[in-house]
Structure 1
Amino acid sequence: MTDRKMELAANLARVEERIAAACAAAGRRRDEVTLIVVTKTYPASDVRLLAELGVRQVAENRDQDAAPKAVECADLPLTWHFVGQLQTNKVRSVAGYAGLVQSVDRARLVTALSKEAVRAEREMGCLIQVALDAEAGERGDRGGVAPDGVAALAEAIDNAQGLRLDGVMTVAPLAGPYEGRQRAAFERLREISTDLRAAYPAATMVSAGMSADLEDAVAAGATHVRVGTAVLGVRPRLG
């Protein structure tokens, strides 16, 4: 085993221990939480090592990084999640490899994703990114739709060809009423998810929590956590 593979294996084991402990503390089964490894800025060789170590869900936030990496790793049994703010001019590329887009936050993006999913003859899962720091009807600085816009966006996704409404996602706000209150933010997302599932029972995904706050996310009911640094190490600086 290479040094890098050993490093990744040890990091994965530590993250697994954290998730298992958080599930136990919350009275949840370990299999209720799925780990998504965020591989942004890291090379395809790391993705390949992660796959060898059993990782099946990986995420990227920039199409220019993700697209070539997905091609290089096309032989691997992976589901690619797109988690960054997505511009409509990148949708055709993203539709070529992403199994899920976690950052759906506006109707125009739904229309573009539907068109390209149909063109590619595939179905894409969609999560509605909720901006918990947004004022009513506005998007937050990190993307997302305000909580009162979730219902309309859910209807648009549900009615769109080639798309599947899978649930909700958020990033812990850096400002506003939830600043420094990750647990409360994630609990609010869970409330939004509960309302959504009343209308769309299959939309069960709740994607929340990253390396620093995955325990809060698990305690609040997240079904998926997005972990990068704790698995891959401190990110290289982008030039």
Structure 2
Amino acid sequence: MTEGQRARYEELGTNLDVVERRIVDACAAAGRPRGEVTLIVVTKTYPAEDTALLAGLGVTDVAENRDQDAAPKAEQCRNLPLDWHFVGQLQTNKVRSVVRYANHVHSVDRPRLVESLSAAVLKAERPELGCLVQVALDKEHGEGEHRAGVAPEDVAELADAIADTPGLRLDGVMTVAPLAGPLAGDPARAFDRLAEIATAVRAAHPAATMVSAGMSGDLEQAIAAGATHVRVGTAVLGVRSPLR
């Protein structure tokens, strides 16, 4: 390891320790065991070298939001014990690439994408792909369309479609705190609403236990509302460079 790599390794380790303490404290405040929450480190815009360092620090779950960045990074890190999550908007023309490395897609938001993912998984003859319905809380009752995802009232139909489609496994739901509507600026209320939606999904599909919510700035509120997976980038890796 070069001097620069050692310095970055130590920086990432320090940041991970801080995030881990936040998760531990949030779980304690919510009366939840620490083991109920999985940290997913969002590595977008950062090189494969950082992903490898994270693996060396014990990170097991990483996420990307653009296939053009994720595919080569996943290939470079293919021998590392990592669980890859795709969390960005997914175009159908990228599906065949994404199913080569992703174990979970958090951003399923339309029936056509369900069909495309199924076809790609079956053609690749790979294990089932875990899928989460992305919920756009700012679309509730037609309030806005500022986030990708489906309106809360449409979640059940899309969840059923995923569960009934070959090659796919319904894992749960995902959201990002809304930018518009009555829940904007109030992540605690937003994640409480997601918890209600997640409960309804589990009533119909008991195995769909994943609740993906919370990022660097609001992971505590997400954990308080029952999130099982938090997606943290900046707090671990630092301020990201602008997208290319």
- Could you tell me the TM-score, scaled by structure 2's length? 0.96
Asked whether the 8 Å contact 2:146–2:178 carries over to 1, the reply is: no
Q: Which one of the candidate residues 82, 101, 105 is aligned to 2:105?
A: 101
Percent identity between the two aligned chains: 70
Matched, 1:30 2:34: yes
Unaligned runs of 5+ in 1: none
Rounded to whole Å, the distance in 2 between the matches of 1:139 and 1:55 is 36
Which residue does the alignment assign to 1:187? Answer: 192
Give the deviation of 1:170 after TM superposition.
0.1
Give the deviation of 1:137 after TM superposition.
6.7
- Output aligned runs, 1:69-80, within 5 Å: 69-80=73-84
- Output aligned runs, 1:72-221, within 5 Å: 72-122=76-126, 123-136=128-141, 140-221=145-226
Matched, 1:235 2:243: no
Give the deviation of 1:142 after TM superposition.
2.3
SS in 2 for 1:74: coil
2:72 partner amino acid: P
SS in 2 for 1:133: helix
2:100 partner amino acid: G
Residues 210 and 107 of structure 1, relative CA distance in 2, 3 Å threshold: same
Asked whether the 8 Å contact 2:172–2:211 carries over to 1, the reply is: yes
CA distances 1:82-107 after superposition (whole Å, capped 9, x unpaired): 00011111101101110000000100
SS in 2 for 1:226: strand
Unaligned runs of 5+ in 2: none
Which residue does the alignment assign to 1:64? Answer: 68
Q: After the TM superposition, which of the residue ranges 135-144 and 59-68 deviates more from structure 2?
A: 135-144
Give the deviation of 1:121 after TM superposition.
1.2
Asked whether the 8 Å contact 1:36–1:224 carries over to 2, the reply is: yes
Asked whether the 8 Å contact 1:138–1:146 carries over to 2, the reply is: no
Runs (4+) of structure 1 moved beyond 4 Å?
none
Asked whether the 8 Å contact 2:144–2:181 carries over to 1, the reply is: no
Asked whether the 8 Å contact 2:140–2:153 carries over to 1, the reply is: no
Q: Which one of the candidate residues 51, 54, 69 is aligned to 1:50?
A: 54
2:28 partner amino acid: A
2:146 partner amino acid: D
- Could you tell me the TM-score, scaled by structure 1's length? 0.98
Rounded to whole Å, the distance in 1 between the matches of 2:43 and 2:190 is 25
Rounded to whole Å, the distance in 2 between the matches of 1:102 and 1:137 is 22
CA distances 1:170-215 after superposition (whole Å, capped 9, x unpaired): 0000111111110000000000000110110000000000000000
SS in 1 for 2:173: strand
Asked whether the 8 Å contact 1:132–1:146 carries over to 2, the reply is: yes
Asked whether the 8 Å contact 1:139–1:146 carries over to 2, the reply is: no
Residues 199 and 137 of structure 1, relative CA distance in 2, 3 Å threshold: farther
Residues 174 and 106 of structure 1, relative CA distance in 2, 3 Å threshold: same
Rounded to whole Å, the distance in 2 between the matches of 1:117 and 1:204 is 22
